[in-house]
Amino acid sequence: MVARTPRESRNAPRMGIRGVSALAFPQIGHKKRIGEDRRCCMRCGYEGPCVQKDDNEIVRRTLLDTDMVVFATPLYYYGMSAQLKTVIDRFCAYNSSLNSRHLKSALLTVAWNADDRTFDALEANYKTLVRYINFNDMGMVLGCGCGSPSMTRRSGYPEKAYQLGRKL
């Protein structure tokens, strides 16, 4: 599971951890330090070692050695967290390798808002990423009205995340 948020004890990672625990997949991203410098320098020549010396190499090795990636993020201004976006932007350095893996993927997200268009932009972004990198989407849990841990616990979304994990 790749979970990136400035508040890691909050809703999206928690919901994801329970869902992923049903799968026994490794969890990455919580405490990893991925450079905030998102320049696409291409010094790696695509697929070469990254010149930015941070924990992205751990993320890379883990993703290329697994069957599935679960993205967990709170909704920030109708998109994923900047922290998760940074991790995904770094996929550029090993895009071809990821593309050829045909990984399964899922999206777990939460938002305070509960209107019918809350997740439209994030859903479109996730679906585009899935198509572009040849991931096989296994599902999304879009937690509307989950603005705090207590609101999330009272909702049915943690159970939906768990059930998504179990069916995989």
What pTM was computed for the model? 0.79
Mean pLDDT in order along the chain per 10 residues (168 residues): 56 55 49 56 73 83 93 94 90 91 96 94 98 97 94 93 90
Q: What is the pLDDT of residue 7?
A: 54
User: Any idea what the CATH number is for the domain that residue 141 is in?
Assistant: 3.40.50.360
Cα 107 versus chain centre, distance: 6
Structure tokens at 19: 């869902």
Q: How many domains does the chain have?
A: 1
Q: What is the pLDDT of residue 73?
A: 94
Ramachandran bin of 11, using left for φ above 0, alpha for ψ from -120 to 50, beta for the remaining angles: alpha
Which domain covers residue 135, as residue numbers?
2-167
Q: What is the pLDDT of residue 168?
A: 84
